[in-house]
Amino acid sequence: MKKHTEKQPIDDLFARKLGDMSITPGPKSWDELQNRMGREQNPRIVPVWYRYAAAAACLVLVGGIGWKVYQTSESAKPTTAVLANAGNDSNKAGSRKAEAGRIENLTTADTVRQQMAQVATEVPASAPENIGTIQKVKARQQQEKIPVDAPGPSPVTSQTPEEERMVARIPAPTEKLPVAPIEAPKPVVAESLKPGLREEPSERKLVVMINTPVLATSKASEVAGAIGVESVNKPETIEEEGLSKASKLFKKLKRIKNGEALAYKGETGDEEDSGLISRLYGNVRQSLETKKDSKQ
Amino acid sequence: MLRIIPFYPTEAKLVTALKRGEARAQKVVYERYSGKMLAICVRYVANRADAEEVMIDGFMRIYEKIDQFREEGSFEGWMKRVMVTESLMFLRKKKAWRQEIPIEDMGVEPDYHWAETSLESEDLMRLVNQLPDGYRTVFNLYAIEGYSHAEIAEMLKISEGTSKSQLSRARTLLQVGLKKIQEYHYEEAYRKTAN
């Protein structure tokens, strides 16, 4: 395209009058244009609403998770409390005695072991003889155990493992006990709690440890004081040393089962299982902000 | 009625938004330029209804081909060229620019100064629209858009000689038309003063 050097007057007249002329199109022509674009440019229009759809889906997902967590945490509280209540009502006297008896058992067993160690060191060190002495010591231990168990309260020592489990479960929700309203208990949660506890019973210490939190130890000390056993603090030290890892893991498992881990920060202060919700919330907030920015 | 939506303060931002396929930018482009673009289409196609169809096709072409626009020239100039091309495609379907009509040359030049001051754009547009399609097309391309005969010959697939003769005939017809309007106005003015 080039500008003509000599322009005829008629060309010039029409160029100036018509070159920048404007004619307003009819009101329907934009709609017509959009209709045609809707027919022919579907892929271009899709992404515009696709983003909104994605945002809506995210919101629905987060809302759903939040509701689920809220529901499970609500239902978890009363059932454990009821369980604890039931346990207290039925086994109160028996459980207290049982705790005292077990503590006694432990302490006496420990003294026996110490005696055994002393005996073992006193014996001269030759290999075959050593084996023999160990066997003898074991035999002696068994013999000694019988009289040790005998003086304890008879219903306590003959505890069934089921009773033990009940006892173990009682003190766990001690903090929630006064607050929680008594509503329809859900056996499902109780069942889900069981296997977690069943894994541990081989170690007696673990069972004692679970019993020990504040209220339980105070009860135990009362009973133990009445019977005359002094070393009540010993199980606590064992708990702190030996079982910190296992108990943490167990607590975490339990909390995940209850759905608490999703909702709250772990009481132990662990960062791993905490703040899933807060992280989700953060992500959503961030996406909303970026969306705002892009709109602006 | 607010015709220009105050988004996209610069042409570059508008073009960038168009390239992203933003529906709002497309609407803004339509609001800003549809009047000028429709005028171009009317100038070529001559029929108002056909011209609107061509303009809509032109805007669709603009939205589709916006990636081909390089920020070398003006965006408006690029859009005008798209509209001209669209109009030519419409006329080509009609095989428009092969008609010839006999012309009686009046041999008298119209008063261009009077035409400049007294005539509206609509009057001149009416004159252009009365031209045969071939004459009108060549006149538009040469006199208003500024193409050379070689370019016009290339665009319309005609010889340069045809382009020149059609331009000459178009000019003559327009001059005759202007002269007739002028005479009509003079007669009217004379009648008013006589009464």
pLDDT digits (tens, 9 = 90+) for B127-156: 999 999 999 999 999 999 999 999 999 999
B124–A26 C-beta distance less than 8 A: no
- The average pLDDT across A135-161 equals 48
pLDDT for B61 beyond 90: yes
**Beta carbons within 8 Å of A160's beta carbon, 6+ residues apart:** none
Helical ranges in A29-186 per DSSP H: 29-40, 42-122, 127-149, 154-157, 161-169
Whether B124 sits inside 8 A of A18 (CB atoms) is yes
Q: Provide the pLDDT for residue B30.
A: 94
* pLDDT the model gives residue A131: 46
Select the residue from A14, A34, A41 to test the B interface by mutation, using most B Cβ atoms within 10 A: A14
Question: Using one digit for the tens of pLDDT, what is the confidence trace for B70-87?
Answer: 878 899 999 999 999 999
Contact across the interface for B148 and A2, Cβ inside 8 Å: yes
Domains of chain B: 1-94 (1.10.1740.10), 97-195 (1.10.10.10)
Is the CB of residue A40 less than 8 Å away from at least one CB of chain B? yes
**Chain B contact present for A295, CB below 8 A:** no
Residue A179 predicted with pLDDT over 90? no
So what's the ipTM on this one?
Answer: 0.87
Answer whether residue B36 shows pLDDT above 80: yes
Output the pLDDT for position A275: 58
Mutation for A interface: B54, B56, B174, most A CBs within 10 A: B56
User: In a mutagenesis test of the A interface, which of B3, B20, B124 is the best target, namely the one with the most A β-carbons within 10 Å?
Assistant: B124
CB pairs < 8 Å spanning A and B: 100
Q: Say yes or no for a CB contact (<8 Å) between B175 and A10.
A: yes
Question: And the tokens for A145?
Answer: 């155990």
Do residues A81 and A176 touch, judged by C-beta distance below 8 A? yes
Q: How wide is the angle at C-alpha A137 spanned by C-alphas A135 and A139, nearest 5°?
A: 70
Question: What is the distance in angstroms between the CA of the first residue and the CA of the last residue of chain B?
Answer: 43
Number of CB atoms found within 10 A of residue A79's CB: 21
Helix (H) or strand (E) holding A27: none
Convert the pLDDT of each residue in A58-84 to its tens digit.
899 999 999 988 888 877 655 544 444
pLDDT of the residue at A224: 47
A75: three-class secondary structure by DSSP: helix
Indicate the domain borders of chain A: 53-160+185-295
C-alpha closest to that of B27 among A296, A100, A30, A295: A30
DSSP assignment of A154-217: HHHHT--HHHHHHHHHTTTTTTTTTT-------HHHHHHHHHHHHTSTT-HHHHHHHH-THHHH
Q: Which residues of B touch A48 (CB under 8 A)?
A: 23
Q: CB of B1 within 8 Å of any CB in chain A?
A: no
Nearest CB among B56, B60, B146 relative to A2 is that of: B146
